[in-house]
Amino acid sequence: MTPAETAFPRLVAHTTRLDADIDLITVAGAQGVLFEQSGAGLAGRGVAMRIKLPIGQDRLEAAAELTHQTLSHIETHDEVGLTGCGPLAFGALPFENDSPGEMIIPSLIVGRSDDGARWVTTIQPLDGAPISTEEQLQTLETPKPPTATNPTRFSVQAMQSPTSWCYGVAEAVKAMSSGSLDKVVLAREILIEADAPLIVSEILERLRIAYPSSMIYAVGGFIGASPELLVSRNGDVVRSHPMAGTAPRRGDPAVDARQAASLLASSKDRDEHQITIDMVLDAILPFCSYVDSEPEPSIVSIANVHHLASLVEGRLSLPPASVLSLVAALHPTPAVCGWPREVALELIQKLEPFDRGLYTGPVGWVDANGNGRFAVAIRCAEITDNQARLFAGNGLVAGSDPRTELAETQAKLQALLTAIVRP
């Protein structure tokens, strides 16, 4: 056995078709992993292995190599052969380079494709006592906590006053007058405290219902519903769906239609959006034989806001780069950081009075072949017992109005607020 082989635990993965239609949120439970969109996706429970990731400027590229090596050393028996079968690593990775992160290889993974095909993958020690798929699936039948334990009272506290945040926006706009900065994203943080532990699975179910087209995700207690695809890779096809430019929805169809038309016609928002599209194209191009974006942005409407969005799609050069290598090239995009990147990061560190943690980082999954999907971790919350930390940010450009930007962050916060705080 070579030294490289001895560095990894001896694991075996078995993937078989699944006849039962098991709910993916049920699979994830309170501390599992989930990545689902429009009914299709993946969920996992248990931990076959944790991959601790390095910190520093090249951490995501190092993560791509380390995760590939780890997954490739798992002996795999796949009877289904679809993307998402076999051993997978899931992760929610920090926004900052100097924050530690990890990828998790679950011991049980359930998948569902767009056409309704279902499968289950079990991962266990190669020399251990075999555990049947049926035995593992039985562990999913844990009943939900009784209704009596549901929280009934909530307090919501802004960790930075609206006045203070608006002052930061004004300072950012002032900094852009020098011409060295085109855009910066500033975020807000709020804290929710309940009178009983928050039930993650119920919050995820509400997000699924309220935001059916978004990517519903969970990694432990970090959960969310992101409309923004950072990057996906399936074979040699790469896609990204960046969003920049936002307007709140009011719930009145006529008013919402006017808001969407106004957003599409806004030169400020179109300029902000183009900064992100240009960066995404430039970042992906070195990996591709062909890449392009839609000629004009479109409106993506979710329950509480409209976004400007443009689909980017390309063909990867051979051998195709891992989705994690593409994540490394893209993160952080101007949609969550600003541009130029380093100047924007310096201003964020100066003006944001908190550590973003996993907020606006990449969240998703990767397989041994480098296929996978990662969303931008927005519309999210960090759940710990009876507390939830929520975040929302807005892209600022020259001429941004602090009160208008504050209203947009409040609209974005509603996604998780309405899913957590119940009457």
Where in the sequence numbering do the catalytic residues fall? 183, 228
Q: Which two tokens stand for residue 227?
A: 């409309």
Q: Is 161 exposed, middle or buried (0-12, 13-18, 19+ CB in 10 A)?
A: exposed
User: Residue 173 carries which side chain, given as an amino acid letter?
Assistant: V
Residue reference for tokens 């900094």:
175
Q: Is the torsion defined by CA of 38, 24, 376, 394 positive or negative?
A: positive
SS3 readout for 117-146: CEEEEEEEECCCCCCCHHHHHHHHHCCCCC
Q: What is the DSSP string of 202-260?
A: HHHHHHHHH-TTSEEEEETTEEEEE--EEEEEETTEEEEE-EEEEEE--S-HHHHHHHH
140 close to 32: Cβ distance less than 8 angstroms: no
Can you tell me the distance from the alpha carbon of 356 to that of 93, in angstroms, rounded to the nearest whole number?
Answer: 11
363 close to 372: Cβ distance less than 8 angstroms: no
Query: Which SS3 state, helix, strand or coil, does residue 22 take?
Result: coil
Can you tell me the distance from the alpha carbon of 168 to that of 164, in angstroms, rounded to the nearest whole number?
Answer: 6
121 close to 5: Cβ distance less than 8 angstroms: no
Q: What does DSSP assign to residue 291? A: E
Q: Is the torsion defined by CA of 385, 389, 390, 391 positive or negative?
A: negative
323 close to 370: Cβ distance less than 8 angstroms: yes
Q: Provide the phi-psi class of 140: left if phi over 0, else alpha when psi is between -120 and 50, else beta.
A: alpha
Question: If you compute the radius of gyration of the chain from its CA atoms, what whole number of angstroms results?
Answer: 21
Please name which of 107, 130, 104, 111 lies closest in space to residue 16, comparing C-alpha atoms. 111
310 close to 245: Cβ distance less than 8 angstroms: no
